[in-house]
Amino acid sequence: MNILIEGGDLNPPFAEGTRNIALMHALELKRRGHNVVVLTKEKDIILKKKHPKYEEIYGIKFYRWGKYFDLFFTYRKIVKIEKIDLVHIFVKGIRPSAYINFIKMGGGKRIPVIFSLLGWPGGNYKPLNEADKVIITSKSLYKVISLKNSVHIPYGLDLGRFSFSRKKNKDILCLRFPPVPLLRAFRKLELKIPGVKLILNKKNIDNRPETRIILKDLGIKNAIELGHVNRMEDLLKKSKIILDLHYGKDLHLSQFLRCASPPLIILESMACGVIVISNNIPEIREIIDDNKTGILLKTEDEAEIYKILLKAIKNKRIQTIARKEVVNKFDIRKVVIKYEEEYRKLCESL
Residue 26 contacts residue 15 (beta carbons within 8 Å): no
Distance CA 291, CA 260 (A): 23
Q: What is the pLDDT of residue 293?
A: 96
Asked if domains 2-156+332-349 and 171-328 share a fold, the reply is: yes
Q: What is the pLDDT of residue 93?
A: 63
Residue 6 contacts residue 90 (beta carbons within 8 Å): yes
Q: What is the pLDDT of residue 88?
A: 93
Distance CA 163, CA 237 (A): 8
CA-based torsion, 108, 114, 120, 123: positive or negative: positive
Q: What is the pLDDT of residue 48?
A: 76
Classify domain 2-156+332-349 at the CATH topology level.
Rossmann fold (3.40.50)
Q: Measuring CA to CA, how many Å separate 193 from each of 169, 198, 215, 313?
A: 12, 12, 18, 9
Residue 322 has phi, psi (to 5 degrees) of -60, -45
What is the per-residue burial (b if ≥16 Cβ within 10 Å, else e) of 231-258?
Answer: ebbebbbebbbbbbbbbeeeeebeeebe
Helix (H), strand (E), coil (C) string for 193-213:
CCCCEEEEEHHHHHHCCHHHH
CB atoms within 10 A of CB 6: 25
Report the top-level CATH class of 171-328: alpha beta
Which one, of 13, 84, 22, lies nearest residue 47 by Cα? 13
Q: What angle do CA 173, 179, 180 make, to 5 degrees?
A: 115
Local confidence pLDDT in tens for the 350 residues of the chain: 999 998 767 776 545 566 678 889 999 999 999 999 999 888 877 777 888 999 998 889 999 988 877 888 888 889 899 999 999 988 876 565 666 766 666 555 678 889 888 877 666 677 788 888 999 888 888 888 878 889 999 989 999 999 998 888 999 999 888 889 999 999 999 999 999 999 998 988 888 889 999 999 999 999 999 887 778 889 999 999 999 988 777 767 777 665 557 788 999 999 999 999 999 988 899 999 999 999 999 989 999 999 999 999 999 899 999 999 999 999 999 999 999 999 999 999 87
Whole-model pTM?
A: 0.89
Q: What is the pLDDT of residue 254?
A: 73
According to DSSP, the residues that pair with 38 across neighbouring strands are: 5, 62
Q: What is the pLDDT of residue 259?
A: 59
Domain definitions of the chain by residue range: 2-156+332-349, 171-328
Residue 318 has phi, psi (to 5 degrees) of -60, -40
Which one, of 283, 278, 46, 1, lies nearest residue 152 by Cα? 283
Distance CA 274, CA 291 (A): 13
Q: Measuring CA to CA, how many Å separate 327 from each of 156, 218, 270, 284, 320?
A: 10, 40, 10, 17, 11
Residue 197 has phi, psi (to 5 degrees) of -130, 145
Q: Give start and end residues of each alpha helix (H) in 179-316.
A: 180-192, 202-207, 210-218, 232-238, 264-271, 282-285, 302-313
> Between the CA atoms of 156, 235, 170 and 294, what dihedral angle is there, to the nearest 10 degrees?
-10
**Residue 281 CB-density burial (10 A; 0-12 exposed, 13-18 middle, 19+ buried):** middle
